[in-house]
Homo-oligomer: A and B are copies of this chain.
Amino acid sequence: MELSCKSEYALLSLLELAAHRSNGEPVQIRQIALRQNIPDRYLEQLLANLRRHGLVRSQRGAKGGYLLAREPWRITLLEIVDCIEGLSPQPPGSTQKVETIERAVIYEAWQEANQAARAILKNYTLQDLYERRESQQQLDIMYYI
């Protein structure tokens, strides 16, 4: 469960969309890219991907942009990374990687560890992240004073 740039960008974008969700206005790629310091042409691809997976909706044309397709508490972090990282394709995997008992046993242990990590991410929603950010922001202001 490495945190790739891709996933980080996607998370940041969705967090941004969650923040601007109060007014029904769509948010432009450019805005997100600027605020979160992400290459905009790259972000474009990621958002398109999220759209195809139904996590966000897009509005074309002037005054267009992106919107969350669901409420933030209905989107888990696991969903997001699975969209972005792509549920991996291994056609030869089932018969090639685990051909010996030793490899099977190792693979099994790994699956267990992976499931543990995925369980954590599944219990985190975008809402949780958003709330954490808010309270963290309050703290920072307090310290500043």
Complex contact B109–A124 (CB within 8 A): yes
A2 nearest CB across to chain B (Å): 7
A75 nearest CB across to chain B (Å): 13
Interface on chain A toward B: helix, strand, loop, or mixed SS? helix
A69 at the interface (CB under 8 A from B): no
Complex contact B110–A1 (CB within 8 A): yes
The CA of A118 and the CA of B109, in the complex, are separated in Å by 11
Chain B residue contacts of A132, Cβ below 8 A: 105, 108
The 3 A-B pairs of least Cβ separation, nearest first, read A117-B117, A113-B120, A116-B116
A22 at the interface (CB under 8 A from B): no
Chain B residue contacts of A129, Cβ below 8 A: 105-106, 109
Complex contact A120–B116 (CB within 8 A): yes
Extra A-B contacts (4), CB below 8 Å, given A1-B117, A105-B129, A113-B120: A8-B103, A101-B136, A109-B120, A116-B116
